[in-house]
Amino acid sequence: MNPAANVENKRILITGGASGIGAELALLLAQRGAKVMIADLSAENSEKTKKQASNHGTSLLTHAVDVSDAKSVKNLFAAAMQQLGGIDVVINNAGIDHDPAPMHELSDDDFDRNIAVNLKGVWHCMRAAIACMAPNGGGHVINVASVAGLRSSPMISAYSAAKHGVVGLTKSAAVEYARANIRFNAVCPSFVDTPMVQNTMAKLDERGRKALVKANPMKRLGKPDEIAGAMAWMCSDESSFMTGQTMVLDGGMLA
Ligand code: NAI
């Protein structure tokens, strides 16, 4: 018996799979025998992650995408259907943040870009996933939201609004498509040590960095492999009765 959640031969598409949480998950799933395509804005980082996989004796497919662009997403899903031979699981993980600012100082551009990538990007990919999965017996869509999608998040209101929207889309779709055997769940991490957060930390002074870490009951950031491990289980059939849920991975922040 395989002690790890079994994802062997699952066909899995991961947006934002070239970096951070997405890359960690892609490498783990490939190691466990899944067929994985990573889709990202950054061709350079996609190549690096692909090389990492091959250094571990596994392989990843890559595809360039901008999830905020409906046409680009349509092309991605056509390529994934063809190259993976179908899609069992879609991980909507591509995302951006914005510099912290009170709402009255946040620019319209920051707001619009966060909604375009973090919310509308997920919307585009959910709709494309449904179109691929409904005629083929179903599937599972896992959206990477955030604890910022579940509670107040001062100074990052655009990001928080987008992530609350992702949670709303997840719950609505879960009920709409349960009979079509398409499941929708969300993952809500707190701060995880990825390039996104390293970039945020670099803009803080020492006191700010310490405060950010101390705000977590575990007094540390999450590690990408702690998120990837839980998500790998979600990708397996062991999660088959789970839909419309938010899996909170936060070191106890929301407890
Ligand atoms: P990251 O910055 O390391 O990775 C994000 C990836 O998304 C990058 O490879 C980037 O090129 C890609 N991307 C950005 N815009 C894109 C677009 N328009 N189209 C396609 N790809 C695009 O960030 P990280 O931390 O791994 O974040 C992954 C997800 O997890 C994001 O949705 C983020 O909001 C979410 N998250 C992260 C947390 C953290 O503390 N790191 C906490 C909670 C949620």
Q: Is residue 247 part of a domain?
A: no
Q: How confident is the model at residue 3 (pLDDT cuts 50, 70, 90)?
A: low
Q: Is residue 200 part of a domain?
A: no
Helix axes 70-84, 121-133, angle to 10 degrees: 40
pTM above threshold 0.90: yes
Q: What is the residue range of 128's domain? A: 11-192+223-241
CB neighbours of residue 243 within 10 Å: 20
Can you give the CATH number for the domain in which 150 is found? 3.40.50.720
Q: Of 101, 204, 213, nearest to 160 (Cα)?
A: 101
Which pLDDT score is estimated for 128? 98
Distance in Å from the first CA to the final CA of the chain: 35
Residue 149 in tokens: 């999608």
149 lines ligand 1 (CB under 6 A): no
Q: Is residue 49 part of a domain?
A: yes
CA distances from 13 to 23, 126, 206, 243 (A): 12, 12, 38, 19
Q: Is residue 40 part of a domain?
A: yes
**59 CA → ligand 1 middle, Å:** 21
Q: How confident is the model at residue 5 (pLDDT cuts 50, 70, 90)?
A: confident
CB neighbours of residue 176 within 10 Å: 12
Substitution site in 126, 188, 196, 248 for ligand 1 pocket (most atoms within 8 Å of beta carbon): 196
pLDDT digits (tens, 9 = 90+) for 119-166: 999 999 999 999 999 999 999 999 999 999 999 999 999 999 999 999
70 lines ligand 1 (CB under 6 A): no
123 lines ligand 1 (CB under 6 A): no
Proportion of the chain above pLDDT 70, given as a percent: 99
AA letter at 126? M
38 lines ligand 1 (CB under 6 A): no
Indicate which residue of 13, 66, 67, 159 is catalytic. 159
Q: Of 95, 80, 186, nearest to 140 (Cα)?
A: 186
Residues in the chain, how many? 255
Q: Is residue 6 part of a domain?
A: no
Q: Is residue 1 part of a domain?
A: no
**H helices present in the chain, as ranges:** 20-31, 43-55, 70-84, 108-114, 121-133, 157-176, 195-202, 206-214, 224-235
Instruction: Answer whether 69's CB lies under 8 Å from 116's CB.
Output: no
Whether 42 shows a pLDDT value over 70: the answer reads yes
Q: Is residue 91 part of a domain?
A: yes
Residues 6+ apart with CB under 8 A from 128: 73, 74, 76, 77
Number of domains in the chain: 1
Q: Residue of the nearest CA to atom 26 in ligand 1?
A: 20
pLDDT digits (tens, 9 = 90+) for 159-200: 999 999 999 999 999 999 999 999 999 999 999 999 999 999
Q: Is residue 255 part of a domain?
A: no
Q: Residue of the nearest CA to atom 12 in ligand 1?
A: 16
* 159 flagged as catalytic: yes
